[in-house]
Structure 1
């Protein structure tokens, strides 16, 4: 049985260089009929398999040996690996620093053999590039290609690139407003993480992402448990970004649990750490969270100052999608203070910005605020329209815990002037309530229990958020 050898592109270049040095044509080497010009041409291009016998013959005809060719390939492969690692590191750095054009040009110049283990890095970085460009479909394709590549080569699991890809898929599905699917991907990421492998920081990225997604789904106790787990390991976390994110999320969740003094403590600690490292994005979020704490305590002037401090950093914030929620919250604060015109301005600005970033959660809150504002002024037609906008979005994205809240407001709005709509929304509220009781829907039932403890009646206006 013949032995077959894979001839790489670099080996092909080596053979061609030897032939050129001897000033031979391909036809000169095929005169005796042992090897054809077609085979020689393919070998010089590389990426083909050929019998060891023919390759040894060609090497001898070129004045070199088969062993010389293998030694050249081994050295070249080692050099290629070193060059590839450096090049991939540079590309990853460019993408992390948002030098997207430079990173993409480098990616296009990279050439790797199909079985080169660095191919997984290439798929991952393409996914990262497309994610940054908000081309979600292409990002998903490349992240999934990387995962598939590793599944076929289990020894690459220790790179933890598979876990990073799942984290990337989670981010994408959050942008697509499918937080439940994002959580599923994070679970896959945690399951594929190798503790003694490379990129150990990925583990904490997965955990903080999980906290953020659970908070979005109002699963506050679960999120807090993960944060407490992270706090026990905080000395192992190198990333200042993650540490600040922990402070911000802990304060935000404590606000939701009405533990405002504890929330203020964590927000203030985070703010001090953020200004040491001049981290504008985290500072922005922490000041906004602190404002919420003061607002809930009834310290409205302090809350307003904190929101304004956050918005003063707006031009220095890199992740623009974190800005719209602060406009919403400041608008709601102005509404509570009776500053209707200012409230409308901030809430309408929140809608404009959230529509650009496809931020459904912020859009719903802004529409709710505008509905509440017009309801207070007795402009029920506009109030109804804004509340229906919020309800349509919550329905489209299966945000059941928000649907119930919006329905209560719609029922209040429609009770006297829109009897048909009133009955429709009462029926819808009962339907949502009953369906979720049958399904054992944890999040919405917790939410409804909270609503019951504040004695909200269907005919009364709901409390301000």
Structure 2
């Protein structure tokens, strides 16, 4: 059984006020005023454990809040699990690449269902945070808690290689402690628990790289050479983790995009997530931003808008780390399109305006055109015809100036259809322009028919990224 978050929040607020208590009167070392506020407003990221703690502080008996339970729903549980897994991937990106403190704060209030095996991920990520902060004692504690949870409570998690990852964290921790023998021992334990066909595949090379470092510092040169030979053998027929840099990350994004276009969305999602993982490990901020935006676009096309939003917001959290600012225009435009779908028009307008501003600054006419198209569509949904027509005309002008044929034809159709819908006779001009624009593509110069008009056959000219810097 789970709580109806909205209703239990209203009930708690009503009870607190009836007892003439302020939120700060109930706050203590276990529950902050912010968390209490989140509970009362029904935020889903707060754990049920915190809600029960607050109920107990208010001396509310279980019989008084039974009515706020809702029946478990298998499909809803599956959706929630997918969302929680994605949130944890996002938080690992935030901890590793942008704002560790923010990542830890969100980690503490993520609100997993009771008894979720993802508890092990929480402990592992806390271990990573404290290792980053060089609080080795606390890092050690959390890594071991993650291992114990997998061993004793959630053996089904072994395929995630979270246990192996925790041993890798412990090896790095002991290396920071200058205890090379312990570091080597944890490497060996990690290797023995590593599942080859499981998750976090990069760990296999990670353990070997670390062993080479530890062994050569221990002057065990033959053993170090043996580990190095094994590491080199991983390159036979496939790219190895240590070789994954700009080109391989670029390939991951392109492959995910191609599969998404071919409606192979599950493969596209898996590939994008692998790329995200590699970008995080390599601290490739631009590629990370790009891959999160690509993944968000895939989810958006599947109409999984809550998952898409997580992706786009994660991409935008990299704004202070990336070098290619135009990537933010792409992410803002995609987020604007999402908010339009969700009918959150004021948020959508804000995202599109940001995208337009960045595009102008970076002289990216393509993304400016895309953002103007999105903004025009947003105004159409709000029946704001004057602003919609102004945006779409501006976008059409940019598309014509820059030779963006696909966008030009899309805009001619959109303007023609919209003007006709609102009874504006000017629609005929755009319909005629569309015909003129495509008639030469239908027939070659000798008068014969071409295989396919340019408008219908053109592939996407420009995605988030560009060729790798070599």
- Which range, TM-score by smaller chain? 0.3 to 0.5
Quick one: higher RCO (CA 8 Å, sep 6+), 1 or 2?
Answer: 2
> TM-score, with normalisation over the residues of structure 2?
0.44
> TM-score, with normalisation over the residues of structure 1?
0.44
Task: Pick the structure with more helix per residue.
Answer: 1
